[in-house]
Amino acid sequence: MTAAITELGRRDPAFATIVERFGPPPAWRRDPGFATLLRIVLEQQVSLASAQAAFDRLAAVVEPLTPYGFLLLDDAGLLAIGFSRQKTRYARALATAVLDGSLDLDALVGLDDEQVDAALRTIPGIGPWTATIYRLMALGRPDAWPVHDIALAQAVAELWHLPARPSPEQMLAIAEAWRPWRADAARLLWHYYLSTPRRPGR
């Protein structure tokens, strides 16, 4: 990661400025498997703090956190933990797919990025953002680039003085120059976003 960050800073001074101001970014690595993918589902469209709180409550109730153990919880229990009804459906579909073998998370390691995304997106509730975040954080794919991530889009808008957050298509075009280290570009941009004071609600 150090070499990639150095190269990104050489290509664009905005990245070098992030490191100068805030230091190197966290790796944000997570162990591959059901628990991590479930946590990413919880993080969809909510704050990291609320997702973390719900995940911690879940992990305290289901130990170890396995698909089988998860499916033993009823809907009322999941709602009390912090799952919405929609995410309850998504999480049950994920746990069922892992348990019955229709989704083999261990096998994802040997697949290319497109194949990983295709396998993950067979599960209801897992779209491009969730699949890309899993590739980046759990599988360590160096060029994973979550174009649908709002925090990344906001960071890009601020650092490159854009009039509005770029669209996913614009995010893809902007990051073309950062290949093959777009995952580390994302880490730098998250680091900037989380290290910069935010107005309430932003």
Q: Dump pLDDT digits (tens) for 158-191.
A: 999 999 999 999 999 999 999 999 999 999 999 9
Distance CA 141, CA 143 (A): 6
Q: Dump pLDDT digits (tens) for 51-66.
A: 999 999 999 999 999 9
DSSP secondary structure letter of residue 99: H
* Prediction pTM value: 0.95
The answer to whether the Cα torsion of 140, 169, 192, 44 is positive or negative is negative
113 by Cβ neighbours in 10 Å (0-12 / 13-18 / 19+) ranks as middle
Contact call for residues 145 and 4 (beta carbons, < 8 A): no
Say yes or no: 77 and 6 in one domain.
no
Reported as half-sphere exposure (CB side, CA atoms, 13 A), residue 29 has a value of 7
Residue 19 within any structural domain of the chain = yes
Contact call for residues 144 and 136 (beta carbons, < 8 A): yes
What is the reported pLDDT for 55?
97
Say yes or no: 81 and 130 in one domain.
yes
Average of per-residue pLDDT values in the chain: 96
Residue range 67-87: mean pLDDT, rounded: 97
CATH label of the domain that carries residue 165: 1.10.1670.40
Cα distances (Å, whole numbers) of residue 168 to 2, 33, 147, 154, 202: 27, 27, 5, 12, 19
Number of domains in the chain: 2
**Residue after which a domain boundary falls, among 115, 137, 159:** 137
Cβ neighbours of 145 (radius 10 Å): 22
Q: Dump pLDDT digits (tens) for 114-129.
A: 999 999 999 999 999 9
pLDDT at 200 over 70: no
Enclosing domain of residue 47: 34-137
**Residue after which a domain boundary falls, among 137, 161, 180:** 137
Contact call for residues 142 and 181 (beta carbons, < 8 A): yes
CATH label of the domain that carries residue 130: 1.10.340.30
Find the length of the chain.
202
What is the reported pLDDT for 80?
96
